[in-house]
């Protein structure tokens, strides 16, 4: 956390000239408070307050309330899907889907994704089979094909960084085997695949509405599907299996979204396209600020792709940049730039999955290179300019920084 004590060094208000200007070597950090990756977007307060007033007046706070129903309707319109089922978070949503489909055996998934999916499979007594990434950082269909067995029950692929994965190739693999394709769309709200909004593919797609996501409800999850029976089943199982007062149809849990979360979702949905435009400007500022820097590759979605631009993803090549990703991370963190190494070290190298999976060299190499920088609609172009100057200084003086840090 920031050091605001009276004995802290004075603010750093001069340009970076020397190594002693870096927080790593004792200077005051560039920022007085942490600059986070994906600082949450806060919606228009008046819109949110008006929705909260409705909740207060109604005294209806949860259990499929009017705001949850309204958000589900609006999401069906926006995503152009017949069924949207909101839940308490995406992990619970995926759990309900896995249970509803009665999956047993092995499930193929990328190692390069958030750990929640692998953990869920483990807890459900399914076997996660980690697969390699392709050049797009997403699940490689050819590697999936090679790892399929007679026990493969489903593929769960992730649209990493808001871009669509290779849905057609994965769907073809699943169709050949008669198994389900599920899509983790946690990062990908507002994206499209071949002109159609993400949310309309596979047997079901699951979005996270966690605070750190491009579109959020503080906490929340969303299942989209065109399967009416599956949607009906999810509605029951998110609410203890109740179909009405005193009427239980099946086993279920509490995975409901509250009205307060739905209010946040509705308020954020109203501002989503403005947020997307702001995040795109931040992405452009980084692209200009980091242009031509050897050893640093900024991952940019193709210009024709409708991405939410919420993630600022770089790959650091130590040989070209002069220091490796972890050295740069340490330098940035000291300056209160809280960059992140998502999804280091990879699911297959994280407990309890460690040791149950073969090596995945492409994923491991990627996990050693990727660094996310503070971005999204809540970042400012001035912050971006300062961060880019810092990274340029780090690259320009890398040998001296390495030597001084080593000493």
- Does 95 sit near ligand T4K (CB under 6 A)? no
Q: What DSSP assignment string belongs to 334-372?
A: HTTEE-B-TTTT-GGGSTTTTTSS---HHHHHHHTTEEE
Other C-beta atoms closer than 10 Å to the C-beta of 75 total: 25
Positions 357 through 376 that interact with ligand T4K (CB under 6 A): none
- CA 178/CA 23 separation, integer angstroms: 56
Identify the residue whose tokens are 């249970």: 99
Taking the complex as a whole, how short is the minimal distance between the CB of residue 10 and ligand T4K, in angstroms? 27
CB of 18 to ligand T4K, least distance (A): 29
The contact pattern for ligand T4K, residues 110-129, with x = CB under 6 A and - = no contact, is: ---xx-x-------------
111: nearest Cα among 337, 317, 359: 359
Count of residues engaged in binding ligand T4K, rule: CB under 6 A: 23
Region of 103-111, 209-217, 225-233, 271-279 interacting with ligand T4K (CB under 6 A): 209-217
State the Cα–Cα distance between residues 66 and 62, nearest whole angstrom: 9
- Decide if residue 42 touches ligand T4K (CB under 6 A): no
210 binds ligand T4K (CB under 6 A): yes
Buried b (16+ CB within 10 A) or exposed e, 241-251: ebeeeeeeeee
Q: Where does this chain touch ligand T4K (CB under 6 A) — which range of 30-38, 52-60, 74-82, 386-394? A: 30-38
3-class SS at 388? helix
Least separation in angstroms between residue 205's CB and ligand T4K is 11
Binds ligand T4K (CB under 6 A): choice among 41, 111, 127, 158 = 158
First to last CA, the chain: 25
Q: Which two tokens stand for residue 197?
A: 């909004």
Among 24, 31, 38, 112, binds ligand T4K (CB under 6 A): 38
Does residue 43 belong to the site contacting ligand T4K (CB under 6 A)? no
Cβ 403 to ligand T4K shortest distance, Å: 30
Residue 34: which of 338, 280, 376, 375 has the closest Cα? 338
Contact 254/239 with Cβ under 8 angstroms? yes
Q: Which residues bind ligand T4K (CB under 6 A)?
A: 36-40, 89-91, 113-114, 116, 158, 184, 186-187, 208, 210-212, 221, 338, 340, 342
């Amino acid at each position: 956390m920031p050091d605001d004590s009276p004995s802290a060094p004075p603010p750093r208000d001069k340009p970076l000239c020397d190594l002693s200007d870096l927080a790593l070597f004792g200077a005051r950090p560039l920022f007085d408070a942490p600059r986070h990756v994906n600082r949450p977007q806060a919606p228009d307060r008046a819109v949110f307050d008006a929705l909260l007033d409705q909740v207060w007046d109604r005294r209806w706070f949860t259990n499929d309330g009017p705001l949850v129903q309204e958000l589900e309707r609006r999401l069906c319109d926006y995503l152009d899907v017949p069924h949207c089922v909101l839940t308490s978070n995406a992990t619970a949503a995926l759990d309900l889907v896995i249970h509803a489909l009665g999956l047993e055996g092995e499930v193929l998934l990328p190692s390069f994704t958030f750990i929640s999916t692998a953990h869920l499979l483990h807890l459900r007594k399914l076997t996660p089979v980690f697969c390699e990434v392709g050049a797009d950082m997403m699940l490689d269909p050819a590697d999936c094909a090679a790892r399929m067995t007679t026990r493969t029950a489903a593929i769960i692929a992730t649209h990493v960084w808001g871009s669509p994965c290779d849905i057609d190739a994965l769907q073809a693999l699943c169709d050949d085997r008669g198994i389900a394709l599920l899509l983790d769309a946690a990062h990908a709200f507002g994206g499209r695949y071949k002109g159609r909004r993400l949310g309309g593919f596979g047997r079901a797609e699951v979005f996270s509405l966690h605070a750190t996501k491009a579109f959020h409800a503080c906490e929340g999850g969303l299942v989209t599907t065109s399967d009416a029976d599956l949607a009906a089943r999810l509605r029951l199982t998110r609410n203890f299996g109740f179909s009405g007062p005193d009427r239980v149809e099946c086993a279920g849990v509490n995975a409901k979204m509250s009205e307060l979360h739905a209010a946040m979702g509705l308020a954020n949905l109203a501002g989503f396209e403005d947020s997307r435009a702001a995040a795109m400007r931040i992405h452009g500022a980084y692209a200009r600020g980091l242009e031509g820097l050897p050893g640093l590759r900024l991952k940019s979605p193709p210009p024709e792709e409708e991405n939410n631009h919420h993630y600022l993803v770089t790959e650091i090549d130590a040989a070209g940049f002069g220091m490796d990703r972890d050295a740069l991370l340490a330098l940035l963190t000291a300056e209160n730039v809280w960059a992140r190494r998502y999804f280091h070290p990879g699911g297959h190298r994280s407990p309890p999955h460690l040791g149950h999976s073969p090596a995945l060299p492409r994923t491991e190499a990627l996990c050693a290179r990727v660094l996310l920088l503070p971005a999204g609609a809540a970042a400012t172009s001035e912050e971006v300019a300062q961060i880019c100057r810092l990274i340029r200084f780090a690259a320009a003086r890398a040998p001296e920084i390495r030597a001084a840090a080593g000493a």
